[in-house]
A and B are shown apart, each in its own frame.
Chain A
Amino acid sequence: SQELEQSPQSLIVQEGKNLTINCTSSKTLYGLYWYKQKYGEGLIFLMMLQKGGEEKSHEKITAKLDEKKQQSSLHITASQPSHAGIYLCGAGFGSGNTGKLIFGQGTTLQVKP
């Protein structure tokens, strides 16, 4: 979706390295979701953020929604091969929005052993 831009589109990192994926919009984000997808499989829910400045962590993955609620970042510490896959951010937009949840184009992560 052009309303939600992810960067980078793809990423190759050496095992053990840290990395960050960004999700950006020109509009206010309501209900920001992060999902992970292994190649050819379904989507795994990682985290959901709603409040400006909110930060959540799960194992070695941390997601944050900025104060303006227009950008979220997903940070992986000490990456492992199990972190490889496609990371997708999704969000609702704007005042009066009820039900339209849009996703970004995804970031493909490869982790080299």
Chain B
Amino acid sequence: NAGVTQTPKFQVLKTGQSMTLQCAQDMNHEYMSWYRQDPGMGLRLIHYSVGAGITDQGEVPNGYNVSRSTTEDFPLRLLSAAPSQTSVYFCASSQTLGRSSYNEQFFGPGTRLTVL
């Protein structure tokens, strides 16, 4: 198993450009999520999905869109990049996640994004 993969590893954008960060997992996990990590801020949840066709907002969803058409893939779209979106982005997945069923979260290697 490849686990959780993210592409690209590095990306530089100009303000106003759009792009999609890719995330895929081959573990048949229902739960997938996107986080951004900024110095001193820990991980902040952007969007998450509890299954194909179901997505919801996290703590910092503005400026980002997601969709979940398959179990395996959970892309994150930046519609119009801004310097404030310069960050390291992590995708994670796990088996079902809920009040009585928590499982290990598997993280991807991250994408380092710079917006000029």
Contacts and interface: CB of A to CB of B under 8 A. Distances in A.
Given A90-B43, A105-B40, A45 B105 contact: yes
A95 B90 contact: no
Q: Which among A97, A101, A103 has the highest number of chain B CB atoms within 10 Å? A: A101
Nearest to B50: A99
A99 B88 CA distance: 22
B13 interface: no
B99 A92 contact: yes
Interface residues of A, number: 27
A101 B103 CA distance: 11
A61 interface: no
Given A1-B59, A43-B107, A101 B48 contact: yes
A26 interface: no
A96 B99 contact: yes
Contact of A101 (B41, B45, B100, B109): B45
Given A99-B50, A99-B97, A101-B97, A31 B102 contact: yes
Contact of A98 (B45, B59, B99): B99
* Interface residue range, chain B: 20 to 34
A51 to B, nearest CB: 11
A105 B109 contact: no
B102 A97 contact: no
Contacts of A88: 42-43
A85 B56 CA distance: 31
A37 to B, nearest CB: 8
B42 A30 contact: no
B25 interface: no
A96 B50 CA distance: 14
A34 B33 CA distance: 17
B73 to A, nearest CB: 17
